[in-house]
Structure 1
Amino acid sequence: MDTVAAPKRAWLKAYRDAVSLPVTTLVAELRDLLGARLVAYLGSVKETRAVRQWADGSREPSAATVTRLRDAYQIAVLLAAQEPRGVVQAWFQGMNPELDDVSPARLLREGPREDAGRRVSAAARSFAATGQ
C-alpha cells in the first residue's frame, strides 16, 4: 500500500463529501463527530436546538455558516479517520501552535473565510501526518 497516496485519498474523499452532502446530512454527521455544542459554536448560534433544526431540515443555516460547517466537516472526517472522536473534538477546541495558539474552531468561526479554512486545513494535515 502506498503510504503517501492513502492520506491523499482520504483527504480527497473528505473534500468530496464535504462539498456534496446535503446540509441536513452534513450537520447531522458533523454533530456526531464534534458534538452539538461545538457545531453550534462553529455555526455562531447560542443553542444546540438550532443545530438539531439544521439537521432535521426545519431551519436553514446561512450560506456563510454552511461554508464554515463544510470546512469543519472535511477537517473532522480527515482527523477521525486516524483519531478517536474525543481527540478530534479536543483538537478543534485546543490552542494550536500552528495557528498562533488559536483554536481551530475559533479561527474557523471568527477568521477570514478563505484564510481560516486554508490555515486550519494545513494544521489538520500536519496533525494527521505527525500526530502533533
Structure 2
Amino acid sequence: MTVSSVARPDYAAHIRAVRSSFPEVVIALREILGLKLCAYLGSVRETRAVNEWADGVREPSEAVQRRLRLALQVAGAIAEVDSAEIARAWFQGLNPQLGDRSPARLLREGDLDEVGPEVIGAERAFLVGG
C-alpha cells in the first residue's frame, strides 16, 4: 500500500505556526496581514505593541499568543496558495462558511477553542474551492 506524500495545503502553515518563536510568528503575520490587522487580532489599539512583540521587547497574554499563532496558520496557508492580499481580504470579509461573520472578528472576540476549528474549516473550504 502506498501512502500519499501530499499533505493538506495548510499542514506546512500549521508546522510553521507551532514551531516558530512568538516574535517570528508576529513578524510573519505582520508581513501577510499587515500591522493594523495584527493589532486588531491582538486586541491592542496601538500598532506599536505589535512591533514590540515582533522585537521581543513585549509579550502579550497567552490567549493572544494562541490567537496569533492560529491566525498565522490560516493566513499562511491562504497566502501560500493565493497571496497575502487574498489572505487579508479573506480575514476581513464576511464569510458564508462562518455564518457571514469575518474570520478576524471571530478570532478576536470568540473563544478560540470554539471558533478556532470553525475558522480552520472555513480556510480549508476556501483552499479547496468550496
* TM-score bucket (shorter structure): over 0.9
Root-mean-square deviation (Å): 1.3
Tell me if structure 1 keeps the 8 A contact 2:18–2:69: yes
Residues 101-120 of structure 1: matches in 2 within 5 Å?
101-120=100-119
- 1:36 is aligned to 35
Give the ranges of 4+ consecutive aligned residues of structure 1 lying more than 2 Å apart after TM superposition.
4-7
Tell me if structure 1 keeps the 8 A contact 2:79–2:85: no
Shift of the 55–102 alpha-carbon distance from structure 1 to 2, 3 Å rule, reads same
Cα distance in 1, alignment partners of residues 87 and 116 from structure 2 = 16
Greater helix percent: which structure?
Answer: 1
Matched, 1:77 2:72: no
Cα distance in 1, alignment partners of residues 68 and 23 from structure 2 = 11
Report the TM-score, using the length of structure 1 for normalisation.
0.91
Percent identity between the aligned chains? 46
Deviation at 1:40, TM superposition (A): 0.3
Any stretches of 5+ residues in structure 2 without a counterpart? none
Deviation at 1:94, TM superposition (A): 0.5
Letter in 2 for 1:112: D
Cα distance in 1, alignment partners of residues 95 and 16 from structure 2 = 26
Letter in 1 for 2:72: Y
Shift of the 94–56 alpha-carbon distance from structure 1 to 2, 3 Å rule, reads same
75-84 vs 27-36, which moves further: 75-84
Tell me if structure 1 keeps the 8 A contact 2:13–2:76: yes
Report the TM-score, using the length of structure 2 for normalisation.
0.93
Cα distance in 2, alignment partners of residues 81 and 18 from structure 1 = 14
Cα distance in 1, alignment partners of residues 5 and 93 from structure 2 = 29
Letter in 2 for 1:49: R
Tell me if structure 1 keeps the 8 A contact 2:79–2:87: yes
Cα distance in 2, alignment partners of residues 16 and 103 from structure 1 = 24
Q: Secondary structure at the match of 1:81?
A: helix
